[in-house]
Structure 1
Amino acid sequence: MARYTSSYTVGLPFPRIGKLVVEVLESCPLEITYDTGEYIMAREIPGKVSYSKLVSVEILIDRTTSTEKETKMTLVVKNEELPLQVENHCYQMFQLVSQAIVDYRSWQIIEQVAG
């Protein structure tokens, strides 16, 4: 199973960040399957790759450490594919989503830590 993670500190308070995360994920293009405001799950839309390569994305937003100026969140991208190559499909989707988070115009990334 391939799995890639990174953490971000975003220059926005908690209440505003959830809807913006959904926008970022939908732009990737991913389909939102679950959203509690603190935990958002999305999946890759079937049709382009085999079932085992379909990616699921989880974003956990840390409400407990959020301040008026920043919020921490963790990105997890995974699939059932064995990561036999460095440039596998899961890693490519991880790069796509990570770049979309960093480049998103409605917030500023204060810190990014790849896991």
Structure 2
Amino acid sequence: MARYTCSFTVAISFEYLQSSLIELLQSCNFDIIYDTGDYIMAREFPGRVSFAKLVTVEVLIDKSTATSQEVRMNFVIKNEELPLQVDNHCHQMFNMVQEAVAENRYWQLVETIAG
């Protein structure tokens, strides 16, 4: 199973984060399948790759450290594919999500920690 993690701290009001994050994931071809307010799960739309390569994104919004202007989010991006190649499909999607978070117009990226 391929699995990539990273944390982002972004400068945005907590009340606007949820809708901005959902829009970001949808722009990366993910369908939101679960949303509790502080946890979002999204899955890649089927059709482009085999079922085992479909990527799932889990986002945990850290409410305990959120301030009125900054929020930390932890991302887990994974699929059932064995990561036999460095540049596998899951890693490509991980890079796409990282880039989308870094370049999002609704917030300013404060910190990135890749795991």
By how many angstroms is 1:68 displaced? Answer: 1.1
- Report the equivalent of 2:49: 49
Instruction: Say which SS state the counterpart of residue 58 (structure 2) adopts.
Output: strand
- Per the normalisation by structure 2, the TM-score is 0.97
- Per the normalisation by structure 1, the TM-score is 0.97
- Within 5 Å, give how 1:71-90 maps onto structure 2: 71-90=71-90
- Within 5 Å, give how 1:92-107 maps onto structure 2: 92-107=92-107
CA contact (8 A) 1:13 1:66 kept: no
Question: Between the two proteins, what is the percent identity of the paired residues?
Answer: 56
Output the CA distance in 2 between the equivalents of 1:48 and 1:100: 20
Instruction: Say which SS state the counterpart of residue 20 (structure 2) adopts.
Output: helix
Q: Which 4+ residue blocks in structure 1 deviate beyond 2 angstroms?
A: none
By how many angstroms is 1:15 displaced? Answer: 2.1
CA contact (8 A) 2:2 2:79 kept: yes
Q: Summarize deviations over 1:70-110 as a string: whole Å, max 9, x none.
A: 01001110000000000000000000111111111010000
CA contact (8 A) 2:8 2:74 kept: yes
The one-letter code of the counterpart of 2:76 is V
Q: Which runs of 5+ in 2 are unaligned?
A: none
Of stretches 49-58 and 8-17 in structure 1, the one that deviates more from structure 2 is: 8-17
- Within 5 Å, give how 1:1-12 maps onto structure 2: 1-12=1-12
Output the CA distance in 2 between the equivalents of 1:52 and 1:102: 28
By how many angstroms is 1:12 displaced? Answer: 1.4
Output the CA distance in 2 between the equivalents of 1:14 and 1:73: 11
* Aligned CA-pair RMSD: 0.7
Question: How many residues are aligned here?
Answer: 115
